[in-house]
Structure 1
Amino acid sequence: MTPSLTAADLKATFDAFNRHDIDGVMTHFAEDCVFYTVAGDAEHGNRIGGREAIARAFAAVWTAMPDVQWADHSHFLSQDGTRGVSQWTFRATNPDGTRTEVQGADLFRFRDGQIIEKQAMRKQRPNIPAK
């Protein structure tokens, strides 16, 4: 039987994001995974390919925004286990002191119990001024 991911696995991944635990985050990412960022030069954002490059990109977010959290996350998987969705609220202090607080979602594709694609999307709104 082919292993499959569960909503609990996605929850554990986002709990690891919030601990800034790169090993925990990357547990279910395939070596050939592709990550499409929320912004970038292409219509799909930027494309980051490969487990190591994706891990570096995630760690860079934690460095730039040390208090970043993906709060109130919830997770859903397709009946056949090949796709998933995670919804969350992104909260972080930007390097200039302003705050970002927006809802977003990740669309996932899975193969053999691993994430092979993560497509991140989030709402756009003005940053909240620094206090």
Structure 2
Amino acid sequence: MTEAELNAMFDAFNRHDIEAVKTYFHDDVVFDTVAGPDAHGTRIVGKQAVMAQFEATWGTMPDVQWINGKHYFAQDRIVSESTFVATQPDGYRHHADSVDLFTLRDGKIIRKQAFRKQRPLLDPL
């Protein structure tokens, strides 16, 4: 995966374009979310389940964006920094720095580990 492809993937995330997003992910992808009962958060396995999770996030927070992206490449790994911004249904807002660790196989993302700074939600606008 190239930097141009990764930027295109984030553009697709920010457009909430699931058809474009799924082209970057391996069929056997494992996604470790930012929160959950285990040390790794919640683990979602398989392309269909991961795409459903992305769509659920977009449905819950329709303005969600990952902005200010910076990406670092090391062999089959990518470190991606961004700022997560979104409004919850109750109007409270997220605005926190985040990191995704991606592992590649055959040029596609086989593992996505998401990390985000914990900070209080911002008041509604």
Shorter-chain TM-score category? Answer: over 0.9
**Is the Cα contact below 8 Å between 1:68 and 1:90 reproduced in 2?**
yes
**Is the Cα contact below 8 Å between 1:33 and 1:51 reproduced in 2?**
yes
Asked if residue 70 in structure 1 is aligned to residue 66 in structure 2, the reply is: yes
Residue 8 of structure 1: which of 4, 7, 22 is its match?
Answer: 4
- After superposition, what is the alpha-carbon deviation per residue over 1:8-65, rounded to whole angstroms, capped at 9, x for unaligned? 1111111000000001111110000100000001010000000000000000000000
Equivalent in the alignment of 1:58? 54
**Is the Cα contact below 8 Å between 1:64 and 1:95 reproduced in 2?**
yes
Classify the secondary structure of the residue corresponding to 2:113: strand
Structure 1, unaligned stretches of length 5 or more? Answer: none
Equivalent in the alignment of 1:33? 29
Could you tell me the TM-score, scaled by structure 1's length? 0.93
Q: % of aligned pairs identical?
A: 53
**Is the Cα contact below 8 Å between 1:11 and 1:74 reproduced in 2?**
no
Classify the secondary structure of the residue corresponding to 2:90: coil
Classify the secondary structure of the residue corresponding to 1:53: helix
- Alignment length, in residue pairs? 125
Classify the secondary structure of the residue corresponding to 1:8: helix
Asked if residue 85 in structure 1 is aligned to residue 92 in structure 2, the reply is: no
Could you tell me the TM-score, scaled by structure 2's length? 0.97
Asked if residue 42 in structure 1 is aligned to residue 38 in structure 2, the reply is: yes
Structure 2, unaligned stretches of length 5 or more? Answer: none
Classify the secondary structure of the residue corresponding to 2:118: coil
